[in-house]
Amino acid sequence: MCGIVGVLGQHEVAPILVEALKRLEYRGYDSAGIATVRTGGTLDRRRATGKLIELSDLLVHDPLPGKSGIGHTRWATHGAPTVGNAHPHQAGPVAVVHNGIIENFRELRVDLARDGYAFSTDTDTETIALVVQRLLDQQVPPIEAAKRAIAELEGAFALCLLFAGEEDLLIAARRGSPLALGHGDGEMFVGSDAIALSPLTNRITYLEEGDLAVMTRQGAEIFDQDGAPAHRDTRILQLDSTWIEKGGHKYYMAKEMSEQPSVIGDTLRFYMGDGDAGITLPGELDFTDLDRVTIVACGTAYYAGLTAKYWFEKLARLPVEVDIASEFRYREPPLPQKSLAIFVSQSGETADTLAALRYVAGTGGKIASVVNVPESSIARESNVVLPTQAGVEIGVASTKAFTCQLTVLALLALKAAQQRGTLTDEELRQHAANLRALPGAMNQALALAPEIAALANELADARDVLFLGRGVMYPTALEGALKLKEISYIHAEGYASGELKHGPIALIDPNVPVVVLAPRDALFEKTVSNMQEVMARQGKVILVSDSAGLDSAREGVWKWIRMPEIDPVFSPILYALPVQQLAYHTAVAKGTDVDQPRNLAKSVTVE
């Protein structure tokens, strides 16, 4: 949430900051701003509400000179998205950009007010600038003032400070939210992630928890959480720029959906190679004696975990508890001795998931994580990291990261089954072959796009849409509803088909489309019965099934989508595609901002 950037450059910095912010816009986009120190030392700023383009326009009419600067793209927490609440926040000779929450800002406000410091915004961030200003007013030099001010802050955050009269100084600090330093030639950069800095440099140093960096054009001096000088490695990152381009697609989401056959292939190869040697995990995980697996995640990643429950329980006969991270973290659940906790996260920075992980770490429990960003906090704090090979995901609605998470979890369930002896070698080989068939089937499913787009045109008028699934398809129904509501703003709910008659069936009328996800598996007939109950009440059914399913049950349904054949166990990985497409084309038909839907942000680093 919120993207921050800082540059000590050799050239005019405003366009560089805006370009970097463009790459961070996925983190929030309700307002944006930059501040610079110009030759002579004057600190000034420009801010605009709305998308970054509004700030770019403003800078055309009202340019901001200077070769040192900071920038911010906001996802509002404290205070409405107004110009006044937009970052950078300035208090006298200091400006700050900030990502996260200052939890003790109320106490600090009272204290500052007592000393005569006045507030002009509703934000927690302004408090940081004022605390620094108060120290500067007491003749404390900028670096020392920054250190002391940051020590007064409570909460999880990343921030960057810029000072009037200091053209060669930036202070960056990380506590809870990620920050990457970039090394140029006689230039230094800082950003919420390395992608923001990728056109500027590939030499990256990741700050660690509690670090503070004093940056000049010659480099950065880093201090750890105890204030002691610290060494952090600098790595050369190979950031493939094709990830951050749209590649001819109108939206990142479209591009990322289309990449699924290839990234699922990459993920399968990462764990299974090209031969028949079985599944190799990148770390030691022994499922043999486990009594339970606990999977914790948020949103779409949670639905990946919910799907995995079916696989672990069916294939490996291993009980699984799945929980939403924001609930798990405060419930303080007892964990059995012989258990494993798995955290699933695309970004690896989701605040609730990270807090839940830290709870398990505090109990001494073993932690594995399924993450897409290997340098992320969740990856770094796990005993075993199981990477997804989805590549950079920029569209706010998760698509390829979700199917890659499912694939890794499917492989993990098979590994558990192998170790626990619950599947024969032949069964394992067959399941592995079924997974390898996925990229091909996904290509066929993607070819259904024109048909789904036509259907979506009709769906776009709906006020409510229901998604039904049974067994392993139930979490896919939940995911279908989430995708649709988050990008098309149509109210949608997912239900276990058998649960419909216990209440939700009251919603059915001729205006409520009902998407039934039903590959022809062992539970197919049961789902079809529930579908009949919907049709008996004039519900408009969209049946998503394979040829065998459609041939036996499509009579009377409103529309159908004919899916490729696949072994039903892993059908959620394939059936994720039509529900993504349905949401995508409905959103396009409604003209919403597909990649940056309202009120959302990609990386949820606040709770």
Nearest position to ligand F6R, beta carbon: 299
CA distance 515 to 559: 9
Sheet holding 559-563, edge to edge: 491-496, 464-469, 513-517, 540-546, 559-563
Q: Is 353 in the site for ligand F6R (CB under 6 A)?
A: yes
CA distance 41 to 49: 27
The answer to whether 99 and 192 are in contact (CB under 8 A) is yes
Piece of the chain touching ligand F6R by CB under 6 A; list 48-56, 151-159, 347-355, 500-508: 347-355
CA distance 320 to 194: 35
**Straight-line distance from the first to the last Cα atom of the chain, in angstroms, rounded to the nearest whole number:** 10
Q: Which of 49, 133, 326, 347 binds ligand F6R (CB under 6 A)?
A: 347
Active site residue 67: no
Q: Is 258 in the site for ligand F6R (CB under 6 A)?
A: no
Least Å from the CB of residue 390 to ligand F6R: 11
Q: Is 49 in the site for ligand F6R (CB under 6 A)?
A: no
Least Å from the CB of residue 119 to ligand F6R: 31
Distant-in-sequence, close-in-space partners of 445: CB < 8 Å, separation ≥ 6: 563, 564, 574, 577, 578
Q: Phi, psi (5° rounding) for residue 276?
A: -120, 30
| Widest distance between CA atoms in the chain | 81
Least Å from the CB of residue 492 to ligand F6R: 13
Q: Is 301 in the site for ligand F6R (CB under 6 A)?
A: yes
Q: Which of 255, 400, 540, 602 is catalytic?
A: 602
Active site residue 602: yes
CA distance 99 to 36: 19
375-434: contacts with ligand F6R (CB under 6 A) = 397-398
CA distance 366 to 361: 7
Q: Is 177 in the site for ligand F6R (CB under 6 A)?
A: no
Q: Is 296 in the site for ligand F6R (CB under 6 A)?
A: no
Least Å from the CB of residue 375 to ligand F6R: 14
Q: Which of 90, 205, 300, 403 binds ligand F6R (CB under 6 A)?
A: 300
Residue whose token pair is 């942000």: 601
Q: How many residues bind ligand F6R (CB under 6 A)?
A: 14
And the tokens for 371? 């993450």
Sheet holding 339-345, edge to edge: 320-324, 292-297, 339-345, 366-371, 384-387
Q: Is 477 in the site for ligand F6R (CB under 6 A)?
A: no
CA distance 157 to 173: 8
Q: Is 476 in the site for ligand F6R (CB under 6 A)?
A: no
Piece of the chain touching ligand F6R by CB under 6 A; list 132-140, 344-352, 433-441, 470-478: 344-352
Piece of the chain touching ligand F6R by CB under 6 A; list 25-33, 346-354, 380-388, 587-595: 346-354
Closest C-alpha among 30, 34, 28, 32 to residue 12: 34
Nearer to ligand F6R, 136 or 301 (CB): 301
Q: Is 69 in the site for ligand F6R (CB under 6 A)?
A: no
Closest C-alpha among 335, 337, 332, 339 to residue 318: 339
CA distance 489 to 486: 6
Q: Which of 316, 604, 605, 606 binds ligand F6R (CB under 6 A)?
A: 604
Q: Is 299 in the site for ligand F6R (CB under 6 A)?
A: yes
117-176: contacts with ligand F6R (CB under 6 A) = none
* Residues carrying an active site annotation: 2, 602
Binding residues (CB under 6 A) for ligand F6R: these are: 298-301, 345-347, 350, 353, 397-398, 482, 486, 604
